[in-house]
Amino acid sequence: MPVTPFPRPRSMTSTTGAGPAADAPLRVVLDPSTPAQGYRLQTSTEGTTVTHADAAGLRYALATLDQLRADPGFSTTSYDIGDHPDFPVRGFMLDVSRDRVPTRRTLARWVDVLDLARVNAFELYTEHTYAFRGEQEVWQDASPLTAGDLRWLDALCASRGIELVCNQNTLGHMERFLKHPRHARRAENEDGSTMRGVHRPPSTLEPTAENAEFVTGLLEDVTPNFRTRRLNVGADEPFELGTGKSARRAEEAGLGTVYWEYVTSVLRPWLDRGYTVEFWADVFGDHPELMDKVPAGAVPVVWQYDSPQLLAEVLDAASPGQVQEWESLGVDVTALRDGFRDRAKLLLEAGVPFWVAPGASNWNSLLGRWDNAVGNMVDAAEVGLANGAQGYLNTSWGDHGHWDPPSVAFGPVLFGGAVSWSLEANRDVDVAAVLSDALLLDPHRVVGDVLVRAGGVCARLGAPLLNASPLCLVLREPDRLKSWAVPAPGALDAAQAELLSCLHDLRAGDPACSDGDVVVRELTQALHLAEFAVRVFRARGQDGSFDAGLAPRLLTELDDLLEEHRACWALRSRPGGLADSLAAFDPVRHALLRAAT
């Protein structure tokens, strides 16, 4: 049977019976009429012909040819493949600021994954995890990336046809700077703020010329390590903006104006140098008065991390109190069902070009949320294609710390790369098979299957949540768990059965890839932790207290799990951040201790 390469090409025909011999000639034809990054690949008894218009198209054609040649039937099959991408920029953003800073070996492995997925842009999201000059107090405990690390990675990416892009936040998410006395005065609210009943330390910069100059200095320090003329300045989720020092200005001129004046002052120096500058559109997209103010070269990036199907399930299951809570936060509950169409509503109406940014759904989970990731990425591709978006940026965030191991995101990244290359050809691609056959090299096809099945456990729980898995929340915030985040006993039984089945099957996996042993070990750990979370749910009463008889055993098991968490962390990540990751388990530890004593 003829082989189907990954990603699936938009057109392919094959004829069995005759193909190119091992020593048949290879002919390369430069044809400017071929679509950008595209190619035509033809094989026959006379040899192989590759037609392309640019270096990227030639690279992808030869990668496809390599996959075909790996098939034993290559010499007896003739192929005619025509292919080019839906989105010119197909990116992946990895959050390296929420505790987990990857080792060089892990970063190199990510480049392998991106290369297979035909992702051509790699963004590393940083807050405090780059060794900025003069800011040692900010990054000294984080095991940060250095200039040498970035230059090494930039060269590695370039050798694979991938742009390495700086992604540095410049407005919100600045708490790691603002907690230090030297920078405290930069905060919008120096005493922090309260959100949903929880006090939070200051995280948003006051939108001043001085602070714009400060973050420009950070960018000036880090950008020389990247050869690309593209940059992402973040500027998302400035939760405190307009509530403190800028409150009067926001009342007089409008919050959107205050936001945009500051962001424009950050964008402008880079646009003047010829950079393309991305910024997150969550604030921008809520202000119609800003729609005609995007300067040339600036790119709003619209993010949405839950699929339309999950959004509908959450809304249908919501209690009146839950809906009231959302509405109090300014959420249009009716429009929420529309996924990316709602998120980009004002930009669509105004005809403002934008990029789409779905998510790998790995964060706020232990094993990922596979079904949501697939739906979210397809939604992003559909909306992006329908509106001429030039960029598709898949994201792997680390909200509240990366408890999920890196391999949990491998499958979603492959799928995101495939549907951003050609949506219609790859909607139903068998990612489990691609994981096992092409990435993990598992002859028994076990590990890829387990990764996908484990990612589906969240959907089995029957407690649909936005941006999180109940199995993560019961460990992170057992005392604040909402009633709608608690699965029914039968759903917990089904989830536990699947987790135990995955653990059993995983023992038969035999991945031959360079990190095969690491994948098996970290996935085993994550499965054990998820199964532990199921039993934590069972030991938790309706009032949120824990069974005193079960608590001591659960505490002992938690200690063992955290020892393995430490060991698995060291296999992929630098030591900085491990203490924070472990500390995030303190709420469940304290709750169990109270019950045990």
pLDDT tens-digit series, residues 273-316: 999 999 999 999 999 999 999 999 999 999 999 999 999 999 99
pLDDT digits (tens, 9 = 90+) for 36-54: 999 999 999 999 999 999 9
Q: Which own/partner pairs from 15-19 qualify as long-range (CB within 8 Å, at least 24 positions apart)?
A: 15/77, 15/78, 16/73, 16/76, 16/77, 17/76, 17/77, 17/78, 18/44, 18/45, 18/76, 18/77, 18/78, 19/43, 19/44, 19/45, 19/73, 19/74, 19/75, 19/76, 19/77, 19/78, 19/79
Res. 100: pLDDT tops 90: yes
Mean per-residue pLDDT, 398-416: 96
pLDDT tier, 159 (very low <50, low <70, confident <90, very high otherwise): very high
CATH superfamily, with its number, for domain 447-596: N-acetyl-b-d-glucoasminidase (1.20.120.670)
pLDDT at residue 344 in the model: 95
| Overall fold of domain 89-304+339-429 | TIM Barrel (3.20.20)
**Is the CB of residue 116 less than 8 Å from the CB of residue 6?**
yes
Res. 411: pLDDT tops 70: yes
C-alpha span between 270 and 280 (Å, rounded):
16
- Round the average pLDDT of the chain to a whole number and report it: 96
pLDDT at residue 195 in the model: 80
pLDDT digits (tens, 9 = 90+) for 168-224: 999 999 999 999 999 999 999 999 998 877 899 999 999 999 999 999 999 999 999
pLDDT digits (tens, 9 = 90+) for 374-391: 999 999 999 999 999 999
pLDDT at residue 22 in the model: 86
| Adjacent-strand bridge partners of 27 | 49
pLDDT digits (tens, 9 = 90+) for 315-325: 999 888 888 87
Q: Where are the beta strands (DSSP E) in 96-184?
A: 121-126, 163-168
Residue 441: which region, alpha, beta or left (left: phi > 0; alpha: psi -120 to 50)? left
Q: Give residue limits of the domains in the chain.
A: 11-83, 89-304+339-429, 447-596
Res. 433: pLDDT tops 80: yes
pLDDT at residue 509 in the model: 97
Res. 329: pLDDT tops 70: no
SS3 333: coil
CA atoms within 13 A on the CB side of 268: 10
Percentage of residues of the chain with pLDDT beyond 90:
94
The structure tokens listed for 94 are: 């990895």
pLDDT at residue 441 in the model: 98
**Is the CB of residue 553 less than 8 Å from the CB of residue 528?**
no
CATH superfamily, with its number, for domain 11-83: Chitobiase/beta-hexosaminidase domain 2-like (3.30.379.10)
pLDDT digits (tens, 9 = 90+) for 108-149: 999 999 999 999 999 999 999 999 999 999 999 999 999 999
Q: What is the CA radius of gyration of the chain?
A: 25
CA atoms within 13 A on the CB side of 451: 33
More confident residue, 517 or 322: 517
Res. 333: pLDDT tops 80: no
The structure tokens listed for 479 are: 């005392």
